[in-house]
Structure 1
Amino acid sequence: MTVRLPVRVGDLLAVVCAVAVGTALVTFCLIMAESGLRSQVPTDRFAGVDMVVGGDQSVPQDEDFDPVLPEQVGVPSDLAHEVSEIPGVRAVATDLSFPAAVTDGRGGVLPAESVRDNGHGWNSLLGTIDLIGDAPSGPADVVLTADAAAPVGVSVGDPVEILLRGQARDMWVTGIADLPGGGVFVSDSSARELSRKPVDTADLLTVSFDDDADAAAVTDRVEELVAGRGFVVATGADIGRVERPAAASGTGMLTAAALSVGGVVVVLVGFITAGAVSVGVANRSREIALLRAVGATPRQIRSMTAQQTTRAAFGAVIVGVIGGYLLSAAATQSLVTVGMLANGQSLSWSPVPALGAGLLMLGMVPVAARAGSLRISRMPGAEAIVETEAEPHGGGPGRTRVGFVVLAFSAGSALVPLGIRSEEALIGTASGTLLAIIGVALIAPAMVRRICGWIAPRTGSASRWLAVRNSGSRALRTGGAVSVLALAVGLLTTQIFAGTTASATMDHEVTEGAVADVLVSAPAAGGVSSSALAAIGRAPSASAAVAVVRSTVIRPFQQDGGPRAEEYPMLAVGPGVGRALDLGLTDGDLTHLTGDAVAMDSAAARLAGVDVGDTLPLILSDGTEVEPTVVATYARGFGFGKIVAGLDLLPDGSSGPYDEVLVAGDHARITTELAPLLADSPGMQIGDARTALTGPSAQDPSRVLNVAVSLVLMGYILLGVANRLVASTLRRRREWQLLRAIGATPRQLRTMAWSETLLVCLIATVIGLVISLGPMTMLAIGFVGKPWPQGPLWAVVVTVFVTCVVAHSATTMPARRLLRGSGVPVPAG
């Protein structure tokens, strides 16, 4: 026997909307993840070069993505001779980069994509670039790109002021190169003097082939030559990733952020989609019960439900996939702005995200449909019909007990920040909200029944009394509405306040720890030069001038027999750091922070099992492996990074340029004195240390992505809220017909519906705020020492208001529709 029910568009509309929007979000996350893995970083200078040989920028680890080093690891210079002897190789050159910028002649500096490696030796281009004029040969010669020469109005033969390693120099333009960007090119001998690399090391090797050479064969020979030596060989589209490791590092961060956000998206999509499917099944429960009564088997019922729902979802998946690709295209420029994509880099467009999202959703929908119809399909026909007329009061004691256990686990994660101040504690606390939502969904029916039982005797009007009794007697339905509304309030509030609490923690630690009064920086110039540092130190009111370089380091370690790597933000500081920063010393002595010595955040040290006096293996941002001794631990790691080292630990770190200089003394007097001292240093910025100094992790672009995705998810959750409430209200046609038949007026029914919605919104708001602001309060106590959440209270008000407005509209609009037809007599039985 074929079991079939006529399709109701209204019942399937909630499923279609949930699947379409959910597919779009999943597709977007998968496109981001694939782009991080496969999207090619555009080649910049070496578009005409056949091959580039560089150091391996990745640090291998098991069970996770390999972190990418943002600075060139380097290759031995003598490797160029070995490569040049391979048949088919026409020329090989070494490439060296250094900080460089062009001034505008009026005290300003032309912007560049990456000032830190904007300067280069000319010969590495191997003559592949069109040049007007001559190549640089002397120490005062410079070649500029057309984009750098045009804004300052210089041409071949004109003088120009160039900042090299932050130091202004008068040079002569010998040529204009046909290259994009603001690059500065000097002779190879000058590049060697300006580079931080040791004399026997280059950043990269560039290789050109003979015209008649077999490119594949030459590439194979070069790969055989460098095999096992820690070098990578790149040709074609792969050259950009080797040429621009910082851009490749940002692209890798895109994958990690997309997968992190994608996990939350998948959970929510599953939650909303399953809810929409279950409501659709519940709306047809009477018809399903009648099919059981006439002999349909449980398996036939479940198959019929799954097939009908999947057919409707198939079209929604197609619409959602298209929407996901359009959303990704619209987000491309924003990803470039936050540094997750390089300039000129595009997302990876392939059918893989569409296929993955489609399979996920089309696999999730039939499972949800079968699960939603499982209970009623197993009932005998007569019992199933009775079930559709009298909804069960609650979910049973077992369900409630499991819900309280889940809530206990989520409460435990909320208490972790009171004892551990780390990113892991912050992430765990924020993730605990999802666990709490599951617990709330399980206990909601029993909780609603108990609350309504307490309120009912205290209710005055008949309509409100009926609303409370209805909500309590149909606790499963009411509990479902409460849980999805609590999800909307709790999740967005948590997402907002987790980020703001992290920012507040950094601001608090910087404010408490900034002993210096003035901060001098020169971001457009590539940093503060060593000569500028000396000039700052000569200011009469300056009691200390401490140079600062921001960087990252990787701690390699073994776990479960395999290699692992953890990335830390690092602050490298000059002598006298104690006169500029109060790191919140917990153990050791910061005066020993010289040479091969570091200080470590106490929470990070505890998690890593490191004590004062231990050796700490680290990999610097350019791949240099060091083993400094931990001489101190400190408490303010959020504000100043997990590692603080002396400048001596960095290769040529003492020679500058420096990211910032912290100056201790009277702010007003120092500012006045520094202006004439730095008049010959273009691009300098002087500001208040407490407002200008920010923690290294404040620049994490993944937070921008998290906020943007949170707003999109809020819209999706509200869509799920509206779908569920509309479907639940329309399901009550027979109930309202009965109430009209016994004398209830339309006004009384509208008041009842409004009262039910108000009750649900109040319960959901309280629960949502408790499961979100409660953990955020624990986070604030543990991280900032303040017993209230660190974030904008208006965001809570707006979230609650928007959620309640959506809930009210999703109830009152279908209620009006029901009232227009509720006067129809109720059929007997």
Structure 2
Amino acid sequence: MRGGAGRPRTPRTKVTALLATRAARTHRKAWAAVLAALVLTSALLGTFALAVGSAALGHARVERYAAADLVVAGDQNTRYTAKPWGSEPETVAVGLTERVRVPERVVGVVRRVPGVRAAVADRVFAVGFRGGSAVGRPWDAARLAPYAVRDGRAPRHAGEVVVGVGRARVGERVTLRVGGADAAYRVVGVAEGPRAAVYFDGGQARRLAGHAGTVDAIGVVAEGDTRADELYGRVRDAVDAAGLRGAGTRAEGDSAGLRVLAGDGRGAAEHLAAAPARTTMLEILGAVAATVTLIAVLVVSSTIVQALRQRAHELGLLRAVGATPRQLRAAVGREAGRIAVAASALGAILSVPSYVALRALLNARGALPTGLELPFPPWLLAVPLLTAAITVLVARLSALIACARTAKVRPAEALRESPPGTPRRITGLVLLGLGVTSAGTATLQHGQAAAAAASAAAVLMVIACALLGPWIATGAMRVLGAPMRRFGGPGGRLAAANCTAAAPRLGAAITPIVLVTAFAVVQLAAGATLTHEARAQAREVTRADLVVRADGGLPHHALKRIRSVPGVTGATEVVHSTLVLARKEAGEPQLERLPVLGVTPEDVTRTLDPDVREGTLTALRPGRVALSADRARTLDAKPGSKVTLRFGDGTPARLRVVAVYERGLGAGDFLLSRDEAVRHTSGTTPTQVLVATDNNSPRTARAVAAAAPGTHVDGTPEAVRKATHVEPEDQALGEVVTAAAVAAIGAFTAIAVLSTLTLIAVGRRPELTLLRRAGAARAQLHRMLHAEAAATALTGLTVGAAVALVPLLAFSLAFTGTLPHLPPTQAILIVTVVAATTAAGTVPPVWRALRGRYPTG
């Protein structure tokens, strides 16, 4: 007789198939728990695989340059090369969020390249238009989209503009503010495209945009018979031959500073934040996916091991009656494989709507920057199939490992039970020690090194607890056994005796509870600690009562007029920008992009209080910087010393430290002078003014608005906090992804807890039936099971909280210098979920055994 693919079905194959089929039918309830865990594992891994794959294919959306064949722009990356310990030099790069400008003479070089029909210089600048913000551009650049005039004509003179649809009518006169100066313009046309666009005559746009001698980008349109790939090489060679570089933005080791962009890459010249956000998204998703994978493997392995542990006597009997080790392994592997294939396929299907929900959540929370395109080609649907195959492999390996001991022993010894061995205890203790050591290391580190060490500590300690489960259970019962016997009555005494006698079983029940508690507490408390301390410091830093926002720039002399308003005690102009810090971490080169605040030094101590410990903020000038105390310790800097930084456009600078302050989470790690920050920003950031008053009255707010016409005055605490608080650019993205991961893994591990406890309860039916026949009352057994569930939940919560507390202490001390913080509602939710799942997995599966009838199995 022959099987599929022409292979002969030997007697050994028949025995294996028979054992696998009969076992799968007999133990449907046990495999149902494994099925649920595998479905969720496959769905979670597929969801994050789709997210990572889509992010890897992500790019900036092409809008303004859709009709351009090529775009010449500045290189929006800065690089740093260093030599790690005992290795070759390495170079790292990070994206820049402020524009790297292109020398205007490049336009002439590109126009002379054969095959170029047109080379159009583009300039983008902020415009205040009717109480809102708009984007100014030269009309020639509209052809790069292409945007055409729908009504009217193109601007021909300095006093004429074309606006987007719905902003104004042809022939209307409008007042626009650019660079703080108001001027009247006549609308001569209405153009297709974005409503916020305002197009000027080319010469007028050059004057208004500032940054003399540079342009934002150059759009290149090819001749009709010239292919874009041919033209790309010619333009690249022409730019290189001319020795052209970005406009003064290169640090040592950087490339030429100009890039020629084609295809989807053209969008990088429009949406500067898209590429850095994509890189950050990949890093966050990769880190979360690695944690999810590790937890999934632990949970799946634990569930399968528990399912097979219930059948240890059955497998031992098969071995005792002559089944070979190979037959047992093959039967168990085939049995697990059948379940895993079906479960993984279902999980792969569910991963698609799960990914769609994750994308919707990211969009709803505004976690993705404008212009970041995350494509989803049809072939990406094959990725969940790969993660499903990995899930099947993990399930088969776990099953084979679970039955390894029974398959190896001699038939005469197969029915004996053996306690957990010494190697397991030693391994667990070693991992526990390594986890504590890693946590201690985190307290001595800063930044990503501290976060990585704390994360490693949590993972090591969770694995250690899984290995030490029986001994943890034994220790817990030494503590809980006495009160259970004293106050629990007969049911409490039965529970204490059962838990003490079956420590491996209790340890298996505790492990998933420890896992879900530790993971949830670490993930939630780490972010909550930083957010709580940052908000607290932001409240302490902010001394202003009002924020004045000016689209298109603050009117000339407005700051001086605001300061002269009765009731105003101080006014400080602020600008948000970024800095890049190059450093070494354990010998490895690192580039860190950090948010920064630029301020006018006059009156700064009246509107901001970052708790200066050394120096003074009033000494801030171009070429000077103030540091937080944590960053000063990292850089070994103090007032009078110099630090090397790179501005948001990549320009390197060596700045003198004039002050060191304590509240770095509230004010950021660096404070610059406003003039220095503006010099290196893209020029589209609206200007804001912080205003401190002596009474914060509505009358004073109205007077401030009158002193700065055309501005918005807001006195709400949230608006003032937002104007002063410096948040990491990836904070919203990290919060959303972490929240989604915690919710998914929390539900996953909760089901794993329920599955494990259900498996244990199903295996105890004969034991409970015997107790009923021996005379135990139904109420006594109910109290016994409730006491066991309480002991299991309490032990798991206590150990999980202890496991989480060690790395959390290291993390919080390294980053905030405070104790960890977890919102009470989240703590209550964790305890409630654990208690509910423990109760649901302990009593309902054995209701039949507690009835008046006495089933035999």
Determine if the alignment matches structure 1 residue 488 to structure 2 residue 513.
no
- Closer/same/farther in 2, CA of residues 563 and 417 from structure 1, 3 Å limit: closer
Larger deviation: 814-823 or 536-545?
Answer: 814-823
Determine if the alignment matches structure 1 residue 449 to structure 2 residue 479.
no
Q: Which residue of 1 aligns with 2:496?
A: 468
Q: Cα distance, 1:136 vs. partner? A: 2.5
Q: Equivalent of 1:498, from 515, 526, 530? A: 526
Q: Equivalent of 1:335, from 354, 362, 369? A: 362
Determine if the alignment matches structure 1 residue 385 to structure 2 residue 398.
no
- Closer/same/farther in 2, CA of residues 683 and 331 from structure 1, 3 Å limit: farther
CA distance in 1, matches of 2:552, 2:848: 66
CA distance in 2, matches of 1:413, 1:671: 55
Question: What is the TM-score of this pair, normalised by structure 2?
Answer: 0.86
Q: Equivalent of 1:520, from 538, 541, 547? A: 547
Unaligned runs of 5+ in 2: 1-11, 82-89, 241-254
- Closer/same/farther in 2, CA of residues 636 and 681 from structure 1, 3 Å limit: same
CA distance in 2, matches of 1:527, 1:733: 77
SS in 2 for 1:126: helix
Q: Which residue of 1 aligns with 2:821?
A: 790
Query: What code does the residue aligned with 2:774 have?
Result: I
Q: Equivalent of 1:542, from 559, 568, 571? A: 568
Q: Which residue of 1 aligns with 2:228?
A: 215
Deviation readout 1:436-479 (Å, 9 max, x if unpaired) = 32232233311221332454455152222111211121111211
Q: How does 1:308-327 map to 2 (within 5 A)?
A: 308-327=335-354
SS in 1 for 2:323: coil
Determine if the alignment matches structure 1 residue 668 to structure 2 residue 696.
yes
Determine if the alignment matches structure 1 residue 130 to structure 2 residue 159.
no
Q: How does 1:77-92 map to 2 (within 5 A)?
A: 77-92=104-119
Q: Cα distance, 1:791 vs. partner? A: 3.5
CA distance in 1, matches of 2:799, 2:519: 11
Q: Cα distance, 1:805 vs. partner? A: 0.7
- Closer/same/farther in 2, CA of residues 679 and 661 from structure 1, 3 Å limit: closer
Larger deviation: 575-584 or 761-770?
Answer: 575-584
Query: What code does the residue aligned with 1:758 have?
Result: A
SS in 1 for 2:609: coil
CA distance in 1, matches of 2:180, 2:502: 72
Q: Which residue of 1 aligns with 2:214?
A: 201
Asked whether the 8 Å contact 1:545–1:662 carries over to 2, the reply is yes
Asked whether the 8 Å contact 1:196–1:652 carries over to 2, the reply is no
Q: Cα distance, 1:306 vs. partner? A: 2.6
- Closer/same/farther in 2, CA of residues 137 and 249 from structure 1, 3 Å limit: farther
Larger deviation: 719-728 or 233-242?
Answer: 233-242
What's the RMSD between the two structures over aligned residues? 3.1
Q: Cα distance, 1:27 vs. partner? A: 2.0
CA distance in 2, matches of 1:322, 1:649: 53
Q: Cα distance, 1:820 vs. partner? A: 5.5
CA distance in 2, matches of 1:693, 1:820: 67
Question: What is the TM-score of this pair, normalised by structure 1?
Answer: 0.89
Query: What code does the residue aligned with 2:529 have?
Result: T
Asked whether the 8 Å contact 1:530–1:656 carries over to 2, the reply is no
Q: Cα distance, 1:584 vs. partner? A: 3.0
Q: Equivalent of 1:28, from 31, 47, 56? A: 47
Q: How does 1:714-753 map to 2 (within 5 A)?
A: 714-753=746-785
Query: What code does the residue aligned with 1:462 have?
Result: P
- Closer/same/farther in 2, CA of residues 259 and 744 from structure 1, 3 Å limit: same
Query: What code does the residue aligned with 1:799 have?
Result: I
- Closer/same/farther in 2, CA of residues 556 and 330 from structure 1, 3 Å limit: same
Q: Which residue of 1 aligns with 2:38?
A: 19
Determine if the alignment matches structure 1 residue 158 to structure 2 residue 172.
yes
Deviation readout 1:362-417 (Å, 9 max, x if unpaired) = 33222222222222222223322132xxxx55x34554454344444444555678
Q: Cα distance, 1:332 vs. partner? A: 2.2
SS in 2 for 1:696: coil
Query: What code does the residue aligned with 2:29 have?
Result: G
- Closer/same/farther in 2, CA of residues 300 and 185 from structure 1, 3 Å limit: farther
CA distance in 2, matches of 1:587, 1:299: 73
SS in 1 for 2:781: helix
CA distance in 1, matches of 2:113, 2:818: 67
Larger deviation: 71-80 or 764-773?
Answer: 764-773
CA distance in 2, matches of 1:417, 1:512: 27
Determine if the alignment matches structure 1 residue 345 to structure 2 residue 363.
no
Q: Cα distance, 1:91 vs. partner? A: 0.4
Q: Which residue of 2 aligns with 1:279?
A: 306
Q: Cα distance, 1:81 vs. partner? A: 1.3
SS in 2 for 1:229: coil
Q: Which residue of 2 aligns with 1:616?
A: 643
Determine if the alignment matches structure 1 residue 109 to structure 2 residue 132.
yes
Query: What code does the residue aligned with 2:138 have?
Result: G
Larger deviation: 268-277 or 576-585?
Answer: 576-585
Larger deviation: 444-453 or 765-774?
Answer: 765-774
Q: Equivalent of 1:755, from 762, 774, 787? A: 787
SS in 2 for 1:697: coil
CA distance in 2, matches of 1:27, 1:526: 46
Q: Cα distance, 1:736 vs. partner? A: 2.3
- Closer/same/farther in 2, CA of residues 786 and 89 from structure 1, 3 Å limit: closer
Q: Percent identity?
A: 26
CA distance in 1, matches of 2:173, 2:147: 22
Asked whether the 8 Å contact 2:328–2:407 carries over to 1, the reply is yes
Asked whether the 8 Å contact 1:497–1:791 carries over to 2, the reply is yes
Q: Cα distance, 1:162 vs. partner? A: 3.4
- Closer/same/farther in 2, CA of residues 260 and 141 from structure 1, 3 Å limit: farther
- Closer/same/farther in 2, CA of residues 367 and 226 from structure 1, 3 Å limit: farther
Asked whether the 8 Å contact 1:36–1:253 carries over to 2, the reply is no
Q: Cα distance, 1:804 vs. partner? A: 0.8
Asked whether the 8 Å contact 1:49–1:207 carries over to 2, the reply is yes
- Closer/same/farther in 2, CA of residues 815 and 613 from structure 1, 3 Å limit: same
CA distance in 2, matches of 1:65, 1:38: 21
- Closer/same/farther in 2, CA of residues 471 and 61 from structure 1, 3 Å limit: farther
- Closer/same/farther in 2, CA of residues 671 and 711 from structure 1, 3 Å limit: farther
Q: Equivalent of 2:201, from 171, 187, 210? A: 187
SS in 1 for 2:712: coil
Q: How does 1:588-667 map to 2 (within 5 A)?
A: 588-610=615-637, 612-652=639-679, 659-667=687-695
- Closer/same/farther in 2, CA of residues 428 and 138 from structure 1, 3 Å limit: farther
CA distance in 1, matches of 2:124, 2:783: 73
Q: Cα distance, 1:784 vs. partner? A: 6.1
Asked whether the 8 Å contact 1:42–1:240 carries over to 2, the reply is yes
Larger deviation: 604-613 or 641-650?
Answer: 604-613
Q: Equivalent of 2:390, from 360, 363, 378? A: 360
The alignment covers a number of residue pairs equal to 802
- Closer/same/farther in 2, CA of residues 61 and 272 from structure 1, 3 Å limit: farther
Q: Equivalent of 1:696, from 726, 745, 749? A: 726
Determine if the alignment matches structure 1 residue 683 to structure 2 residue 712.
yes
Query: What code does the residue aligned with 1:705 have?
Result: V
SS in 1 for 2:356: helix
CA distance in 2, matches of 1:667, 1:141: 45
CA distance in 2, matches of 1:326, 1:64: 39
SS in 2 for 1:594: coil
SS in 2 for 1:681: coil
CA distance in 2, matches of 1:474, 1:188: 84
Q: Cα distance, 1:208 vs. partner? A: 0.8
Asked whether the 8 Å contact 2:110–2:119 carries over to 1, the reply is yes
- Closer/same/farther in 2, CA of residues 529 and 51 from structure 1, 3 Å limit: farther
Larger deviation: 288-297 or 756-765?
Answer: 288-297
